[in-house]
Structure 1
Amino acid sequence: MTMILESSETFLSIKKWKEQIPGLAAIFSTRNGGSSREGFSSLNTGLHVQDEPFNVITNRNIVGANAKAPLEEWVCAEQIHGSYIKEVDRTYKGRGSTNYQDSIKGSDGLWTCESNVYLSLCFADCVPLYFVEPNSRFIGLAHAGWKGTVQNIAGKMIQKASESGVDASRIQVYIGPSIGKCCYEVDETVADQVKHCLNREDHSSLTKKTNGKYNLDLKMLNKQLLEDSGLKKEQITLASNCTSCEEDLFFSHRRDFGKTGRMSAVIGWRE
């Protein structure tokens, strides 16, 4: 497993980045150690899932404090399962952190090169994509469900970085915990879009089932799209976690039939 549980029960961190990139906070919260109840038990960080807002803000503060990424410096996006990516700076600090209506509208990706700006998105099966290039201080975060994935939000983040002068050959990407191929079944319509989004004939992310549907490996598909955008395999690391299988650690939209909490991905530079 390429992510390890930190000293707090509330989040996982990217071990390789923690060891090799000083000053970078890059974490993924668990479902444990919070104040929410029932289906949101206990560390729900999603403000849009009908949980009590006070509990969610309390939970976000717990994550922020334990990760040394203060909530007042988070920037959050609306997340509409699209592929629009927004550049943010210090003037955006706090957007969406305590009020979902104040989130960056229409966006599923955020990037910055500034310190003390913590990019944050919510997840409960979709793929979190973390990006970093230490020399330029470029960091990015993207939310890739199947729709955002086939719209190539992964490749679009690399394009944004390149357009801003970042050397793409130095970018590192972490593909975080999401629903695994073991648990993610899709229909022919989705499978067709998967096949058409790649610049290759390799559709190994799909496995056809006897019922005519497919199991889809979203993490692998995003890896292939990143490679199609010019990244080498050694620039990309995949989490082995399945959010649906690991009920003790993660919320899962599919496993929990839609009534569940959200984990938060957070990345930022500590000044």
Structure 2
Amino acid sequence: MEPFVQKKEQFFLIEQWMKHTLKLQVGFTTRNGGNSAPPYASFNMGYHVGDLEERVTLNRKLLAKELSFPLATWIGTEQIHDAHIQKVTSEDAGKGSVDLHSAIKGIDGIYTTEKNILLTSLYADCVPLYFYSAKGLVGLAHAGWRGTVKQIGVKMLNHWIEKENVAIEDIQIAIGPCISSQAYEVNTTVIEAVDACFEGGSKEHLYQKLAEDKYLLNLRAVNKQLLFNNGVQDSQVIESKLCTANDNRLYSHRFEGGKTGRMMSFIGLRD
């Protein structure tokens, strides 16, 4: 069953998490129902792609109203395809919410223990990772192939366990819409980096060789297996089957030749 349920033209929600607490808001935007013109049509969330800034701001204001999380409570990051994690607080509120330059630099993963903050992250094929604990923590990680092989998901897990004293069994993880293995062709360099994460372990289900220097990679499966290898149980993970390259509700950097908009993952707890 697909855990990301479309509730409005503009976004999906993870209802099976939200039904446990009315205080949680968590989901993923679509490309539809916004103000941006082609090739960013129409609900583009990214300031960095070449869209008109005022249109992106209008789109974000629309989402803020729908989610009842004002833009002044949003936090965004630079996203450099690395694996650095940062804890954020109310002092960071507003960073990256209405412009690019104020986003938190050099970071692809954020989490908080505070209420009334909306964590945000941007996508157009990479893997969105969501983290939630009933102990009052929420987190997001942006996992392109580089962040994946640097184990950004595992690093978030370890931050919560080691720095926040959260038991591993109390952590829920969602893997959001991303490019599927059928659409994600990579070269040997990428596969060698994946292999290095699984020395001595089975890798057959993670990629398929097509020809010399050509492979189809299941990036969401790599992220999930890394979590499993570090003690997460299958019951703790939910996984979207939506493919960004094969769903006209979503943007795809690869399918659209690199000129397109960005979806946004979001998660926050209210008082």
User: Shorter-chain TM-score: what band?
Assistant: over 0.9
Say what the alpha-carbon RMSD is for the aligned residues: 1.0
Per the TM alignment, residue 198 of structure 1 is displaced from its structure 2 partner at its CA by 2.6
Q: Which residue of 1 aligns with 2:37?
A: 37
TM-score (structure 1 length as normaliser)? 0.97
Write out per-residue CA displacement over residues 104-144 of structure 1, whole angstroms, 9 at most, x where no aligned residue. Answer: 0000000001001111010000000000001x211110000
Kept after mapping to 1: 8 A contact 2:175/2:240: yes
Q: Which residue of 1 aligns with 2:66?
A: 66
The alignment partner of 1:16 has SS state of helix
Give the whole-Å Cα distance in 1 for the aligned partners of 2:70 and 2:230.
33
What residue identity is the alignment partner of 1:98?
V
The alignment partner of 1:39 has SS state of coil
Aligned residues: 268
Q: Which residue of 1 aligns with 2:46?
A: 46
Q: Which residue of 1 aligns with 2:13?
A: 13
The alignment partner of 1:128 has SS state of strand
Give the whole-Å Cα distance in 2 for the aligned partners of 1:200 and 1:209.
23
Per the TM alignment, residue 64 of structure 1 is displaced from its structure 2 partner at its CA by 1.7
Q: Which residue of 1 aligns with 2:139?
A: 140
Identity percentage of aligned residues: 39
Give the whole-Å Cα distance in 2 for the aligned partners of 1:106 and 1:190.
22
TM-score (structure 2 length as normaliser)? 0.97
Kept after mapping to 2: 8 A contact 1:10/1:66: no
What residue identity is the alignment partner of 1:217?
N
Give the whole-Å Cα distance in 2 for the aligned partners of 1:108 and 1:87.
11
What residue identity is the alignment partner of 2:195?
K
The alignment partner of 1:192 has SS state of helix
What residue identity is the alignment partner of 2:133?
E
**Gapped runs of 5+ residues in structure 2?**
none
Q: Which residue of 2 aligns with 1:154?
A: 153
Per the TM alignment, residue 195 of structure 1 is displaced from its structure 2 partner at its CA by 0.8
Per the TM alignment, residue 19 of structure 1 is displaced from its structure 2 partner at its CA by 1.6
Give the whole-Å Cα distance in 2 for the aligned partners of 1:236 and 1:36.
34
Per the TM alignment, residue 214 of structure 1 is displaced from its structure 2 partner at its CA by 0.7
Write out per-residue CA displacement over residues 35-66 of structure 1, whole angstroms, 9 at most, x where no aligned residue. Answer: 00010000000011111000001101111211
Write out per-residue CA displacement over residues 175-196 of structure 1, whole angstroms, 9 at most, x where no aligned residue. Answer: 0000000100000110010011
The alignment partner of 1:102 has SS state of coil
What residue identity is the alignment partner of 1:264?
M
Kept after mapping to 2: 8 A contact 1:198/1:228: no
Q: Which residue of 2 aligns with 1:82?
A: 82
The alignment partner of 2:91 has SS state of helix
The alignment partner of 1:166 has SS state of coil
Per the TM alignment, residue 167 of structure 1 is displaced from its structure 2 partner at its CA by 1.4
